Chain A
Amino acid sequence: MAERSRDGLAPADLDDDALLAEVLARRDAGRDGREHVGALVERWRKPALYVIRRVQQSYRMGSVDDAAELFQEAAAKLVERGLAQFRGGSPSELPPEGPPSGAAGRVFFLRIVKHTAIDHYRRHHEELAAKPGGEGDAPETSAPEAAVAERRARASAARQDAADLYWRAFSRLRADHPGEADAWEAYHHLDLDDHEACAKRLGITVASSYKRISRAQARLRLILLELQAEPGASLR
């Protein structure tokens, strides 16, 4: 039997706004909201599958079964981590006041779908490219392999959290200490990976390059620790 909302309505009776509000209310209250989340994402299945197929098309790989699995993976991410981030709010995803709308929730979920699919096929594309036989000779997936794949997916999700924090930390470093951010970017982001090249690019001495990158590293890591301590941070 369908669990009812505070107003006594089943998920099917609620519009997107009301259903999203119910999902968030249940999450805040620590109540089981899986049925409501399931009903909500099911309404967004068609555009979600469109997004996945567009990604598959670009990478020229994937199947209908893959698409269904990626949809489920994205739904799981929404439940496990996304709702907390959505509740915390990204400026472009939340209305200036009042509760989040169903439309904002839909965009938020479709972004999760998009990045889940991109990450999946980006990784897969590189794995295939690295194999001696190239594309198309992957064996069918066995149960142990599926378990490994699941563990990899979880690890990938954790890495994404870490990467989100990383970029926020880098943004703050750039705002507060642009010289150190420039050195870090040249050395690590642009892969110069060499203090002489870095110093030449920035017009500084090699000793300054060492010093700036050491300081940038310490600052970035301090900022990461700050961000991890913020309420709602998903990485612990």
Chain B
Amino acid sequence: MPQRMPRPDARTILRNEALESSETSSVLWAAGDLLRQSEPLGDVEAREALARMTPAAACGALAAIDASVCARALSQALESAFDAGLEEDAEVRERLEQTAMDGLEQRDVVDCVLCAVATFDGRADLDSEEAASLREAASVLRGAVVVADAQARPKGRSLTALNARRRERADVLDDVARATAWWWSDFAGEEHDGLVELLGGLDVDAGEAATRDAVRSAITSGRDALGAALRVLDVGGPAVDDAQRWARSAAARSEADAIAFELSRTLRVEAIDDDAQTPSIGR
């Protein structure tokens, strides 16, 4: 995986590449970084750098990227962002935010490389075999990051603690890149600011959408949770032990709940046949 570089160095990298002092992977990242921006300030340099690259070098750079590292970086970023949201010490929060941003930058690097390779693939001088190899390598990488994204993206609300920094990164991208780069753009609007803090019970001035989310995620009361526990016991699944323990504790506190818990254990609907005799009511 190419090393992350600070964004302002992208053009410097390409100039160094002209002096043959930069690695292919870094050139791909820097070129992709410039090509994705809304202002086409570095387009010419990016295309010139890609024109000098050999297809074999581009394929090698793609194959060297380990998508599992990217997946771990995303997971760590989500965790650090969550921690940052609930951290009240400003210095510690700053460190956590930076750790989270570093993780997101690793995902961004892969996107930059794929963007650069797509441009490279458009070169007129590529023969069909070279083009096919390049597309295959890009397709394998793209497939791997799709899996990583599918695991991480649903948890994107954890990133709201980084919103000010994420907006800075999203703002320089063109529309297509911004839509792809969910790690910068999902829930990044000011209306989502303060969500993690709000959900953790901190006193913050949260955005409108964050406030709505807080209402939607209000945790159900224990009374309703017994009904849920009894259904979990019926259906099975990973929460059965939790449900059983909880239902037992509820049953110990209330006669109505105790009857419900007993019924959940003894009244198995799978065993009831169509000729079951209706019992009489005991009162």
Contact = CB atoms under 8 A, between A and B. Distances in A.
A47 B267 contact: no
Interface size class of A (residues with CB under 8 A): 35 or more
Contacts of B253: 191
Interface residues of B, number: 64
A205 interface: no
Interface of A: 46-47, 49-51, 53-63, 90-93, 107, 110-111, 113-115, 118-119, 121-123, 125-126, 129, 159-160, 162-168, 170-171, 174-175, 185, 188-191, 214-215, 217-222, 224-226, 228-230, 236
A218 B267 contact: no
Per DSSP, chain B at the interface is helix
Most buried by A among B85, B201, B228: B228
Contact of B264 (A91, A118, A190): A118
Contacts of A168: 239
Given A115-B227, A190-B249, 11 more contacts: A47-B272, A54-B263, A57-B282, A113-B269, A119-B227, A125-B255, A160-B224, A162-B220, A167-B232, A221-B199, A228-B216
Given A50-B272, A50-B278, A166 B220 contact: yes
10 contacts: A61-B281, A90-B237, A122-B260, A159-B220, A163-B228, A167-B232, A171-B237, A221-B217, A225-B217, A228-B217
Interface of B: 82, 85-86, 154-155, 157-158, 196, 199-201, 213-214, 216-220, 222, 224-232, 234-239, 242-243, 245-246, 249, 253-257, 259-260, 262-264, 267, 269-270, 272-283
Contacts of A121: 256, 259
Q: A-B pairs with the 3 shortest C-beta distances?
A: A163-B228, A171-B239, A110-B269
A57 B267 CA distance: 12
Contacts of A174: 239, 242
